[in-house]
């Protein structure tokens, strides 16, 4: 039986286990909108297994040793990244839940209002769209070579290695007498985070919890809860690729952001004051996001933290996390149309249910994979000629799967380099490459349509042609799991303008083919 899966990120391909979608767990198991209350806020972990992937596109200077020579900088950064995924994956700021297969967005709770100034009476889509996008993008972020090179999705990390920028940012820079812990750079299309020396002495989420467990008098005091995850999320919120915009807007604001005047808003005291005194600005300040996430993480163990203005006892912070200003507008008038692809209803349901990223990895299976498509599949212009295929093979074999790549073409320096990717092929041409069907693939990876758009081969009907191709695959390979990708971005302006409507239409066609009820209740099988 066929199951057609939409890849929910730009060729962010995964194969789920047969356990299916987890249900949204709440205290009262609501079935109608009227029975859902704010205190029923569900929690879920999106990224529990993403450690199987390479997590950052590039590391610079991160082989140096820290913690008295016991840990590499790269390992400390990885751990901070994974903790950031754990922390942001817990967040559900507007209580988006699934009721009778419909998404319901209820009022934010007191913690959302306390840190981001979005109360139940604040219905601003501008705020909610940006907040949700930053949290979603951070919780779901992972790179996928080579596709993250397109559209600015490449994130680079450096350990005490300063990067070119226009504002003199560096690890040696002081802000209000405080050392720099980290800084983010949006410059010449790059997304970079530079971690400085003080970052590497911060504890992990679990290390901090162990410390707090030994000192119960501090478990309600946010000022003792800073971690590497906090810093990582702070810097992620500065990146345009995470904000879903061409120019980033989340910055490090002053106490009086209108003036501006006063200190930069770092630390829970100033964060809470900004949300209270300047509610229209709190969602534009990076540390508000980081402290909101930190508070929500430790809340699950110790309950709501006390207000930092009342109970703060930790020494005043001696380091800051900041960003490199690229000259973008610090306060745009609206965010009603953020610059990112709108997710489909099926994707929104999956995200709300906590299954947007894999809950487990396929293990101990025999896989005959047919990579089918055009030059993206064949690996044209990738440094080793493998494209995505080698990384995928490494991931699957790392989970003890026996993998055989099949197809009539062979490119790349990987040992098992068979595929059915043809440079310059349109959808109709790809439909004629059927020789590999006789090898009985049980997984088919389809990326097609780029050349229909770039060559103007009736682009308006290209989604229908792709749907027709999928129908032929279903008939020819009835035992295969078919993974259909939306096509990756293009640097060609004319082609780029056609990609978004094409991808949206493809998602709609695939949703019609897939039995959404069966998908949600049973999950894909292999």
Residues 60 and 58: their CA atoms lie apart, in Å, by 7
Residues 162 and 194: their CA atoms lie apart, in Å, by 7
The stretch 404-422 carries a mean pLDDT of 96
189, 80: one domain: yes
Tell which of 324, 345, 373 closes a domain: 324
Is 60 exceeded by the pLDDT of residue 208? yes
The pLDDT value recorded for residue 123 is 62
pLDDT, greater one: 458 or 189: 458
Over residues 20-56, the pLDDT tens digits come to: 222 223 232 222 233 323 333 333 333 333 333 445 7
Residue 35 is assigned to a structural domain of this protein: no
Over residues 314-366, the pLDDT tens digits come to: 665 655 565 554 443 333 333 333 333 444 444 444 444 444 444 455 778 99
Q: What is the CATH number of the domain that holds 477?
A: 3.40.50.1110
Residue 214 is assigned to a structural domain of this protein: yes
The pLDDT value recorded for residue 68 is 76
The pLDDT value recorded for residue 514 is 66
By the 8 A CB rule, do 489 and 499 touch? Answer: yes
The pLDDT value recorded for residue 95 is 59
Residue 169 is assigned to a structural domain of this protein: yes
201, 300: one domain: yes
Domain that holds residue 439: 359-522
By the 8 A CB rule, do 48 and 359 touch? Answer: yes
Residue 118 is assigned to a structural domain of this protein: no
Chain centroid, CA 28 distance in Å: 30
Question: Which of 104-108, 215-219, 232-236, 253-257 shows the lowest per-residue confidence on average (mean pLDDT)?
Answer: 104-108
In our burial notation (b when 16+ CB lie closer than 10 A, e otherwise), range 177-203 reads ebbbbbbbbbbeebbbbbbbebbbebb
Nearest to 457 by CA among 501, 495, 493: 495
pLDDT, greater one: 341 or 307: 307
pLDDT, greater one: 395 or 153: 395
**pTM for the predicted model, two decimal places:** 0.60
First to last CA, the chain: 9
Banded pLDDT at 96 (limits 50, 70, 90): low
Banded pLDDT at 135 (limits 50, 70, 90): confident
182, 256: one domain: yes
In degrees, to the nearest 5, what angle opens at C-alpha 128 toward C-alphas 123 and 133?
A: 165
Residues 412 and 297: their CA atoms lie apart, in Å, by 44
301, 415: one domain: no
DSSP per-residue codes, 193-243: EEE-GGGGGSPPHHHHHHHHHH-GGGTT-GGG---HHHHHHHHHTT-HHHH
363, 320: one domain: no
SS (H, E, C) 266-301: CCHHHHHHHHHHCCCCHHHEHHHHHHHHHHHHHHHH
Is 50 exceeded by the pLDDT of residue 387? yes
299, 379: one domain: no
Banded pLDDT at 443 (limits 50, 70, 90): very high
Residues contacting 195, CB < 8 A, separation 6+: 73, 77, 157, 158, 159, 160, 181, 182, 231
Residues 409 and 49: their CA atoms lie apart, in Å, by 32
160, 265: one domain: yes
Residue 383 is assigned to a structural domain of this protein: yes
Is 60 exceeded by the pLDDT of residue 306? yes
Residue 130 is assigned to a structural domain of this protein: no
Chain centroid, CA 102 distance in Å: 23
Strand partners, 195: 159, 182
Over residues 158-204, the pLDDT tens digits come to: 999 999 888 788 999 887 777 889 998 887 777 889 999 999 999 99
The pLDDT value recorded for residue 29 is 29
211, 65: one domain: yes
Nearest to 160 by CA among 238, 248, 77: 77
Count other C-beta atoms under 10 Å from residue 148's C-beta: 22
Over residues 446-455, the pLDDT tens digits come to: 999 999 998 8
Residue 21 is assigned to a structural domain of this protein: no
Residues 404 and 304: their CA atoms lie apart, in Å, by 51
Residue 73 is assigned to a structural domain of this protein: yes
320, 372: one domain: no
Q: What percent of the chain has pLDDT over 90?
A: 39
261, 395: one domain: no
420, 290: one domain: no
DSSP state of 185: E
By the 8 A CB rule, do 226 and 312 touch? Answer: no
pLDDT, greater one: 438 or 97: 438
Tell which of 324, 342, 368 closes a domain: 324
DSSP per-residue codes, 60-79: ESTTSEETTTTEEHHHHHHH
Residues contacting 447, CB < 8 A, separation 6+: 11, 372, 373, 374, 376, 377, 485, 487, 488
Over residues 223-278, the pLDDT tens digits come to: 999 999 999 999 989 887 677 666 678 889 999 999 888 989 999 999 999 999 99
Question: Which of 311-320, 413-422, 490-499 shows the lowest per-residue confidence on average (mean pLDDT)?
Answer: 311-320
In our burial notation (b when 16+ CB lie closer than 10 A, e otherwise), range 328-340 reads eeeeeeebeebeb
422, 320: one domain: no
Tell which of 278, 301, 324 closes a domain: 324
pLDDT, greater one: 281 or 142: 281
Number of domains in the chain: 2
pLDDT, greater one: 395 or 181: 181
Count other C-beta atoms under 10 Å from residue 256's C-beta: 15
């Amino acid at each position: 039986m066929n199951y057609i899966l939409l890849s929910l990120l730009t060729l962010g391909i995964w194969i789920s286990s047969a356990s299916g979608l987890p249900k949204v767990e709440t205290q009262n198991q609501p079935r109608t909108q009227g029975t859902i209350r704010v205190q029923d806020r569900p929690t879920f972990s999106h990224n529990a297994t993403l450690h199987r992937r390479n997590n950052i596109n590039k590391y610079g200077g991160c082989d140096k040793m820290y913690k008295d020579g016991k840990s590499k900088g790269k390992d400390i950064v990885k751990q901070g990244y994974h903790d950031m995924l754990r922390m942001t994956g817990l967040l559900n700021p507007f209580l988006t839940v699934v009721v009778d297969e419909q998404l319901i967005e209820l009022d934010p709770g007191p913690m959302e209002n306390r840190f981001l100034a979005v109360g139940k009476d604040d219905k601003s889509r501008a705020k909610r769209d940006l907040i949700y996008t930053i949290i979603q993008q951070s919780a779901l972020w992972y790179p996928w070579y080579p596709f993250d090179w397109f559209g600015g999705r490449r994130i680079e990390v450096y350990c005490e290695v300063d990067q070119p920028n226009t504002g003199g940012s560096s690890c040696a820079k002081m802000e209000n007498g405080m050392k720099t812990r980290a800084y983010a750079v949006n410059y010449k299309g790059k997304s970079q985070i530079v971690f400085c020396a003080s970052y590497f002495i911060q504890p992990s989420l679990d290390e901090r919890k162990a410390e707090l467990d030994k000192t119960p008098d501090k478990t309600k005091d946010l000022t003792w809860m800073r971690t590497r995850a906090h810093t990582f999320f702070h810097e992620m919120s500065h990146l345009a690729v995470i904000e879903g915009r061409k120019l980033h807007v989340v910055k490090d604001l002053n106490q009086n952001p209108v003036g501006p005047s006063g200190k930069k808003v770092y630390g829970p005291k100033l964060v809470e004051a900004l949300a209270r005194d300047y509610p229209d600005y709190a969602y534009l300040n990076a540390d508000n996001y980081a402290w909101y996430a930190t508070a929500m993480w430790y809340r699950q163990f110790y309950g709501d933290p006390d207000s930092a203005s009342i109970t703060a006892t930790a020494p005043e912070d001696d380091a800051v996390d900041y960003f490199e200003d690229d000259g973008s507008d610090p306060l745009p008038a609206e965010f009603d149309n953020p610059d990112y692809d709108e997710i489909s209803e099926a994707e929104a349901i999956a995200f709300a249910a906590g299954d947007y990223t894999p809950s487990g990895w396929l293990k101990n299976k025999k896989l005959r994979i047919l990579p089918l498509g055009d030059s993206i599949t064949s690996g044209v212009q990738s440094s080793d000629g493998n494209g995505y295929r080698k990384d995928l093979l490494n991931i699957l074999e790392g989970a003890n799967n026996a993998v055989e790549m099949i197809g009539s073409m062979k490119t790349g320096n990987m040992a098992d380099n068979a595929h059915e990717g043809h440079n310059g092929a349109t959808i109709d041409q790809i439909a004629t490459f059927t020789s590999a069907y006789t090898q009985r693939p049980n997984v088919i990876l389809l990326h097609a349509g780029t050349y229909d758009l770039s060559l103007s081969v009736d682009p308006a009907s290209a989604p229908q042609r792709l749907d027709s191709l999928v129908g032929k695959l279903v008939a020819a390979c009835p035992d295969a799991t078919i993974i259909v990708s939306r096509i990756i971005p293009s640097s060609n302006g004319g082609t780029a303008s056609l990609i978004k409507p094409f991808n949206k239409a493809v998602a709609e066609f695939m949703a019609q083919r897939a039995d959404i009820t069966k998908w949600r209740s049973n999950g894909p099988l292999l």
